Structure 1
Amino acid sequence: MNMKTIHYIIFLHAMCLGNTYKILVMFPVPSPSHFILGSALARGLVNAGHDVTIVSPYKDKNPTENGKYSSIVLKGLADIKDPLENIKLFEIGESNPLTAAQLMYTMGNEVTNSTLESINSENSNIYEEKFDLVILEYFKNDALLALACHLKTPLVLFSTMGANLWVNSLVGNPTPPSYIPDLHLSYTDNMDFWQRLMNVFMYSAKKLNDKFFFLPFQYELAKKHFPHCVGEEGPLSNVSLLLLNSHESVNNPVPLVPNMINIGGFHISPQKELPRDLKEYIDNAEEGVVYFSLGSNVKPSEMRNETKKALLNALGKIKQKVLWKWDEDFLPGNPENIRTNKWFPQQEILAHPNVKVFITHGGLLSTTETIYHGVPILALPIFGDQKMNAAHAVAGGYALSLSISKITEDDISDALNQLLNDPKYRENAKKRSALMHDRQVKPMDLAIYWIEYVIRNKGAPHLRVAALNLTWYQYLLLDIISVVLIIGIILMFVSYLLMKKLCLSRKSDMKIKSN
């Protein structure tokens, strides 16, 4: 029996056991790593027997053959990366956190506008179809929340990160800045006074930016495309569920309201065979292999020449073989122990027991995959949440982190020497891996259960917390605090007047007695 037959039997089995729902999955961010998550979730839903339409900037090169799976490409969105590439991500990494955050806001506005324009020009039939549910990747694209209102379906949001300031307000989840660092800061949950002060500043700056600049722009986009789904407070949306690409083995534990579900690691697929030549290369590495990849968005060829030279010299001196994901056909000055390629099967490489260290940019997908397989990390964070992920990994004892804009050959050599020769890093990585695997339910099964739960329970409004019905000053109890302060001040003032009057009266009595 071949694999196609097995998939078909699984699909028929799922169809017989439960209802088949029609689900719209929208992942509009022009990033291959985001598409990996979206397509993995869509395929999981198809395997569970559902009819899925995925909307993204990319064409699925290997569409699933079992079940109903259709892909709609948002034309032109993949080109949005070009202006970001002109800025150069290595330069973004050297900018201050506010500048990096503002870039994400700008990208959010551009992606949202282009998504809506693309749907209108090429794929307007989406608006006419009947869906049971909309799953939307949330990435500063608030106008798209109105799509669920337009289609009259419940809304499930997906966050490519864990709980953070961006998404918490959408479901009323608390975000105490005392121990939850902003995603653009390289802090852990154990912050000193100055870090907490900087964290509060970042929170406040982002909230003000949302209030006066970002959200008004998004609301105008929503009014333009879904005028009947926009109220005084913005797009009419009721988030039924928020799926988080996180897990306690990777992210710090934080409070979650009932409709927030951690499914980190759901995209990790069953292990496949490595290509024969690559398998032989790793198998025959007597001292092991160091794997080096800066992800799908970063072009390592754009690094400073000094940085490239430092990496090449340091990697060329180690006994291990090196696999380096390099974006060009040729790497000048490449030592004999380094093998480059434009693409490597990352999950399969990390799963090989001969891989000793993963040099990574610290993206959440790469971090999740290396923890899943228990491989120590040398992090070279560049932008976004990568600095925070690297800080968490270092605090967890399975990683070291270096600033890619300041590294020297000695820095890299020292870090590699520690990671390769001190067993504590691999032991800690294995402990984290055990935590990720020690789960009551597989993350994909958990995601499917809650998605079906929301549909079965008509949006599951009973999971919605009352915090969403409060204004910001009510949520912070500022009205109560103000009343208590006013009453306290009045009582103190009255007490002062009474005491003053009493003192004057006593002085008067004493004066009369003396006379």
Structure 2
Amino acid sequence: MKTYVFLMLTYVATTTEGANILITFEAPRRSHQIWISNVVEQLLERKHNVTMAIPFPDTLARIKAKVRESIDEVTAEHENYTSIALEGIITYHKHFDQRQLIHSGLVGSLKTSHRYNYDICDRVYRSKGFQRLWSYPDSFKFDLIIVDVSLGQCLYPLIKKFGGAQVVGFSPSSLNPYLSSVFGSDDQSAYIPSRHLRDVDLRFFFDRLLNYLTNKFEYVFKQNWELKSIENLAEKHLQEEFNFEELQRSVSLLLVNYNPLLNRAQLLPPNIVPVAGLHLKRPEELPSVLAMILNKAFLGVVFVSLGTDIQPEILCHADTKTIANALGRLVQKTVIWKNRTINTDLPENIVVHAWMPQNELLAHANTKLLITTGGLLSIQEAIVHGIPVIGLPITEDHRENMKIITENKLGLQLDVTNLTEDLIYDSVTTVLNNPVFKDNMDTFSLKFKAQLENPVVKAVRWIEYLLRYNDTSFLSPSTRYVSSFSAKSFDVELFIFVVLLFAIFSIARACLSCLKLIYRYRNRTQVKVKSQ
């Protein structure tokens, strides 16, 4: 008992000392901000000194307001909080044509993604926010850097800049084969389908072969081409040499939005920590006007939200009108549509607003259906609140997330390139009127919520573990530090193959020699017999 009390006192003493923590990401995506916000709140409450360098400075005040009592207090920088805006990134994102993501295959998707990442990194290095960080004196130290690793690698130079800091990576997206391989996981092409392939059945050999080649191509492209090109870009802007591959290996821990219930079971090394649902929180009170609308919608509400990261313009005017007309036929249902650019006449049962508190809307008892692109955070919120889903996936990640929905009969998926009024109406009424979807979602919700540990508590516990002991290298498998050729034992298998081939060749040659001897002996015997 005394030992237990001593350990508890030691833990409290070590965690109450404020550490200098840098949290940064370059992705101009609100979902990444939302996903990490609960961790930020907890670190601030535990008196750590947090610096956030992200593209969304306006959101920081709202995060901090939940820690501080007054919104007025958050307008100034406090002793344990600093915000740095990486400006210019959001403007580029708004003008990027996301429609090219709909039809792109493997090569097109990787090329588009690389061009997008490269341009984002170029704007990061030019931003005043990044230059502010880069100009910090050499004597300034961060104890820990928490960096988003799901999009690109342009923030890796900060790992070298603050070389004494431990580094934790995070990914609000599901765990894909590439990211899994980067952190030392074994090749899982035999049972985890690539997000770039559609309708692949890994029970069949040629599908597994295609899946294997696709994953290898993506890995080689990203590690040998994209990583090097952004490294060259950083050297050009910052006038300093970098080894991005080495900096990548210095990210000792990965917090990832993974749950086997949603993302297929797979083998994970101990340096990959699953914290699915990190953004989830208890619903707050709805705004009064919105609460009045939902409370009066006794026959149910259909909520339409295309997520925080997809441009509303990705749907053309005709598609928007088609969706509106189909939902307008649900005269007994109230439709709430989050959209800031819609400019068509709408049926009377549709309410449109630029922003909606999604978590609170889905938690309301009268909400019956979510129509979404299939972003993982929205899917998780729908599951927690037991709301069936209709998906209009845009990207590979969306399509992969929607596979879980359709395979488990939690909702339906539509093709965004082939929308008709009747198809949308029939799909919505099918999900609303067939109790199988709601019953399956309720069961799924119970399984998802029955996690052994709160994901926020788990993430903060690992962060503070790293701060206390300054080392998690023992969690990384040695496969991170050797070539994939050696890590997968291809060299051993090739050696065995060559040995077997040589043995087979030797045995075959010996047998052939024996046959020749036998043939010669028989010929000689026959000649002797004939001569007699």
Fold similarity call, TM over 0.5: yes
Match of 1:20? 18
- Give the partner amino acid of 1:141: G
Match of 1:62 in 2: 62
Report the residue type matching 1:30 in the other structure. Answer: P
Matches within 5 A, 1:407-418: 407-418=419-430
Paired position in structure 2 for 1:245? 257
Does 1:147 pair with 2:145?
no
Measure, in 1, the Cα distance between the counterparts of 2:14 and 2:215: 49
Separation (CA, whole Å) in 2 of partners of 1:194 and 1:411: 34
Does the residue aligned with 2:38 lie in a helix, a strand or coil?
helix
* 1:24 match: secondary structure: strand
**1:124 is the counterpart of 2:134:** yes
Residues 474/301 of structure 1: CA separation in 2 closer, same or farther (3 Å cut):
closer
Structure 1 residue 268: Cα displacement = 1.7
Matches within 5 A, 1:144-293: 144-151=155-162, 152-186=164-198, 195-224=207-236, 225=238, 227=240, 230=243, 235=247, 237-293=249-305
Q: Deviations over 1:103-146 (max 9, x none)?
A: 22222222223223325533334464211111000134235334
- Tell me which moved more, 182-191 or 110-119: 182-191
Give the secondary structure class of the aligned counterpart of 2:521. helix
The correspondence of residues 296-445 of structure 1 with structure 2, limited to 5 A, is 296-318=308-330, 319-328=332-341, 331-445=343-457
Instruction: Classify 1:193/1:496 alpha carbon distance in 2 versus 1 (closer, same or farther; 3 Å).
Output: closer
Separation of aligned partners in 2, 1:337 and 1:42: 39
Change beyond 3 A, Cα 1:211–1:450: closer
Label 1:158 to 1:471 Cα distance change in 2 as closer, same or farther (>3 A): same
The partner residue of 2:108 within 96, 99, 121 is: 99
Displacement, 1:197?
A: 4.7
Relative to structure 1, is the Cα distance of residues 228 and 91 closer, same or farther in structure 2, using a 3 angstrom cutoff?
A: closer
Amino acid of the structure 2 residue aligned with 1:42: V
| 1:188 and 1:388 in contact (8 A); partners too | no
Structure 1 residues 220-245: Cα deviation after superposition (integer angstroms, max 9, x where no partner): 245454846528x5546422110002
Q: Which amino acid aligns with 2:289?
A: D
Relative distance call for 1:17 and 1:308 in structure 2 (3 A) is closer
How far residue 363 of structure 1 moved from its aligned partner, in angstroms, is 0.7
Matched residue type, 2:159: A
Helix, strand or coil at the partner of 1:37: helix
In the alignment, is the contact (CA less than 8 A) between 1:146 and 1:230 conserved in 2? no
1:30 corresponds in structure 2 to: 28
Q: Which amino acid aligns with 1:253?
A: A
Q: Which residue of 2 aligns with 1:10?
A: none
Q: Distance in 1 between matches of 2:137 and 2:265?
A: 39
Aligned counterparts of 2:289 and 2:101: Cα–Cα separation in 1: 37
Amino acid of the residue matched to residue 142 of structure 1?
Q
C-alpha RMSD of matched pairs (Å): 2.5
Greater mean deviation of Cα atoms: 259-268 or 180-189: 180-189
Query: Structure 1 pair 500/126, CA: closer, same or farther in 2 (3 Å)?
Result: same
Q: How many angstroms apart in 2 are the aligned matches of 1:212 and 1:253?
A: 28
Q: CA deviation at 1:14?
A: 7.3
Helix, strand or coil: the match of 2:263?
Answer: coil
1:198 Cα deviation after fit: 4.3
Listed one character per residue, the Cα deviations across residues 160-219 of structure 1 (whole Å, up to 9, x for unaligned) are 212213311221012422221223444588665665454334323323422542122123
In the superposition, relative to structure 1, how do residues 148 and 16 fare at CA in structure 2: closer, same or farther (>3 Å)?
closer
Matched residue, 2:83? 71
Q: Which residue of 1 aligns with 2:76?
A: none
Shift of 1:305: 3.5
Give TM-score, length-normalised by structure 2.
0.87
CA shift for structure 1 position 382:
1.2
Q: Percent identity?
A: 27
Measured in 2, the distance between the counterparts of 1:50 and 1:354 equals: 41
The one-letter code matched in structure 2 to 1:94 is: H
Matching residue of 2:4: none
Paired position in structure 1 for 2:3 = none
Name the CA distance, whole Å, in 2 between partners of 1:236 and 1:203: 19
3-state SS of paired residue (2:278):
coil
**Equivalent residue of 1:270, what SS?**
coil
Deviations 1:402-440 (A, max 9, x none): 011101111111111111111111111111211221122
Structure 1 410/262 Cα, relative in aligned 2: closer, same or farther at 3 Å?
A: same
The SS at the match of 2:374 is coil
Please report how far the alpha carbon of residue 285 of structure 1 lies from its aligned counterpart in structure 2 after TM superposition.
Answer: 0.7
| Deviations 1:429-464, CA, capped at 9 Å, x for gaps | 111211221122211000000111122222211101
Q: How many residues align?
A: 498
| 2:145 alignment counterpart | 134
Change (3 A) 1:404 1:93: same
2:73 paired residue number: none
Q: Unpaired runs of 5+ in structure 2?
A: 1-10, 69-78
Structure 1 range deviating more: 504-513 or 291-300: 504-513
Q: SS where residue 290 of structure 1 aligns?
A: strand
Q: Deviations over 1:374-411 (max 9, x none)?
A: 10001111124111111111112211000111011111
The offset of 1:470, in angstroms, is 2.3
Work out whether residues 25 and 147 of structure 2, in 8 Å CA contact, stay in contact via their aligned partners in 1.
Answer: yes
- Asked whether the equivalents of residues 52 and 70 of structure 1 are also in contact (C-alpha less than 8 Å), the reply is yes
Change (3 A) 1:165 1:280: same
In the aligned structure 1, how far is the partner of 2:203 from the partner of 2:522? 60
User: Does structure 2 retain, via aligned residues, the 8 Å contact 1:46–1:68?
Assistant: yes
Mean Cα displacement is larger for which, 139-148 or 167-176?
139-148
How far apart are the structure 1 equivalents of 2:312 and 2:233? 36
Q: Distance in 2 between matches of 1:358 and 1:236?
A: 38
State which drifts further: 139-148 or 365-374.
139-148
Judging changes above 3 Å, is the alpha-carbon distance between structure 1 residues 324 and 479 closer, same or farther for their aligned structure 2 residues? same
Any idea what the Cα deviations from partners look like across 1:51-107, whole Å, max 9, x if unmatched? 1111101112425154822211112222221341xx2x3443133343233222222
Say which SS state the counterpart of residue 262 (structure 2) adopts: coil
244 and 63 in structure 1: CA distance in 2 versus 1, 3 angstrom threshold: closer
Question: TM-score of the superposition, structure 1-length normalised?
Answer: 0.89
Q: Secondary structure at the match of 1:456?
A: helix
